[in-house]
Chains A and B, each alone.
Chain A
Amino acid sequence: MSRKITIDPITRVEGHGKVTIHLNDQGEVQESRFHVVEFRGFEKFIQGRPYWEAPVLVQRLCGICPVSHHLCSAKAIDEIVGVSQSDLTATAVKMRRLMHYGQILQSHALHFFYLASPDLLLGIQSSFDRRNIVGVALDYPDLAKKGILLRKFGQEIIKVTAGKKIHGISAVPGGIHKNLSLSEKNLFYQGGEIPTIHEVMKWAQETLEFYIEYHKKNKSWLEGLALCQSNYLSLVRPDGAMDLYHGVLRAIGPNGERILDDVDYHTYLEHFAEDVKPWSYMKFPFLKKLGIDRGWSRVGPLARINTCDFIPTPLAQAALEYFRCYHGSRICHTTLSYHWARLIELLHAAEVIAQLLDDPDLQQSSLIVTGQRAKTGIGFLEAPRGTLIHHYEVDEKSAITMCNLIVSTTHNNEAMNRAVNAVATQYLKNNQELSEGMLNHIEVAIRAYDPCLSCATHAIGNMPLHVSLFNSQGHLIHERYK
């Protein structure tokens, strides 16, 4: 008899999602779907508000990556006040960059140590009761402590640049509200409550080395789970370097061929469209020239590692070269290599922070510039989870009349659906009994993308996963909640 499986909620992701798996009469996977079932409609909520409120309001989309929304919105609102990125003062740009790389560092540390490491270090089939951060702390206390301190360092960088650790206020139309005082700068060199930048760089390297050794020992399952060939999308610097704050838009195909060849991101509506499915609130963006079926792309750390020509900091560049050499290819399609790529970016973020902290421009006092008012503003940013898009239109009374937000997780929607299907097909055969460990394989594939389902549906919420199993008659025959 055919069956349908439901995993709801999916755990250790930010947001509430569920998975349904339909089995045919032979007990084989017929179709799998990753549903996102939260909805709030933030794009409507923000309409009518004055444009200068946007960088503060949009942070309420998420308690995990508010800095990304704050900065992306600020970049768009700069254009509303007639200020391009090249018009901003050096202090404003560098303060924003410092804030952004602090966010990348803390977010990547949190994901690796807290959300991903329980699967990787304790075993994907280990006891559910133990497979969490407390279990990691029991077996790997030094690693867990480093994770906490890396996250703390990133949070403190955000605090001194954004004014607060969460929902900061410092990026304003045309610039930045504050500079970095020498006493604030010294917090990151003196040690004590906050680790020094030198310690952070050392720990980032050690964590990457730890992961590489782990990967070598577990190569088979890490490279085999949810393998998926895809397009990749990200911003890159005009010279092809990785740049997580600003750049041109590059999309490549599975063999590295250019689909979008470093285009100005203001033209994004010419290149992208979004599909909707009746069973999910999360949309499916795609490149128009390739169509719905072939035009979807992956974004985030693995995508950025694939799209960039090089990383402009020495330690991360060396790590990139080793990564490509190890995989034997310029393009890596291994889904679980998102973790490796994320740790390379964590190291890169630490290096960028070190460079910026040493830059005297951060102590200058020229913070805000003004320009000629415009009606439209578009901002792009590489958020921890991938390419983030904020687009606003305002009327003559300064009220926002249109808001379009395409968040990182949304780009990965099709990839996550395919990952679920690939894992379900691989592991659920012959009507076998479902085990929690088996279902966790599905969650591990989703978790590699570090999805933020709250952002993707612009929802506030509880975030967990629910898997349901349905037979060929559409009857629910098994489900699991975690």
Chain B
Amino acid sequence: MPGALREKLSAAVGPANVLTGIELSPYVVEGRTPDAAVFPGSIDEVAAVVGLAANEGVPVTPWGGGAAASVGMPAARAGLVLGLRRMSRLLEHEPADLTATVEAGMTMGAFQAALGGRGQWMSLDPADADRATVGGVLATNAFGPRRHLYGAARDLLIGVTVVTADGAVVRGGGKVVKNVAGYDLPKLFVGSYGTLGVIVEATVKLRPLPDHEQLQAVRFERLKDTGVAVKAIMGSDLIPSAIELLDAAAASSAGLAADTPAGGAVLVVGFDGPREQVAWQCAELARILVPLGGQQTRTLEAEAWSRLAAAPGTARPATAAVMTFSVVPSLVAETMDRGAGIARARGLHSAWAAHAGVGAVRAVLASDAAPHEPAAIATVLGEWREMARAGGGHATLAWAPLAVKSRIPVWDDPGAAGRIMQRIKSQLDPGNILNPGRFIAGI
């Protein structure tokens, strides 16, 4: 990095907020070290940093808590990490309006704690809440079990402030819960992985905290049977807040049911609301599931929610890859069952978990061999992806060593829509400085 740029950055954000050299170790991704990490303290400073980088053609990687830093291809060129940790204030919370405006660098955990103090929450529960920031969660479209009832980031974000690649500060949406004025920019930025702009502030819809919440875990002898069970729940009068499906490996590592037989599964269903409604639903759930093979229904402690959000992320110590799938809900159990079979056939272990009602499946692949054989890993991942595509879904390689990523694309082929995405990218970031090469379709 030219020394002149470093000086300008120091001038823009203060020398203490520009890290270089050994201090950069937390920001090394896939062995690649950025030129500098810069921590602006205001929107104007973010704009200044991006503007400087744009002038120099230096890539910028927006960085919240680093929870998803290894998703996607690492930047082709070294550049700046733009950290948002100094921008972590809750700016506005008007309970009677059920909205809040927050700086992007606030962690989800801190945000929820502040809202919870006034009886409300942002109904999004991704893993790693103490590390993941609001901006990061939005940019990566992260979610958790309660997406089933409450939707994803796209359903909650009503206003967004971003710094675009030319250093302009742009606001999209607004502070009201319903708004169709102009294009829906919040949708554009949710899940865009920092390739179109740096999210610096967000206004989100809130909900009142439920009076009561309960998680019911039901064991099944065979994973295959759970497809019918999930369908029965979804077709019933129940209004679950979450429908989680874990195979035996994932259930055991999440500490939910160590005794689940191989080939079996645990279905975890969450309910919230007034106590009498939760009680009625738990009873109704048992009534529905027992004839379908559900066994040993038990109530989980509240702490299990966060383990469900992370499952099966820690299923095996020797994780070789993590893949996420989006499939139609009716294919979730089959995807898990067949996917595990594909891995077994190649002599690899896998563990599977899903937010079953929304068709979001996650799998970890592991091998006993050390070091892993990247070719074999990539082969299984390729077959998994084909399986998802055949059912009208798609798969993303959420994490893998570079040796694997170089053999199988991180992102699936978006087809003709990819050209539109490329056009959007070139309109909004013509110099290609925001997370270049990290995202889909070469973006």
Does chain A bind chain B?
Answer: no
Q: Which residues of A contact B (CB under 8 A)?
A: none
Binding site for A on B (CB under 8 A): none
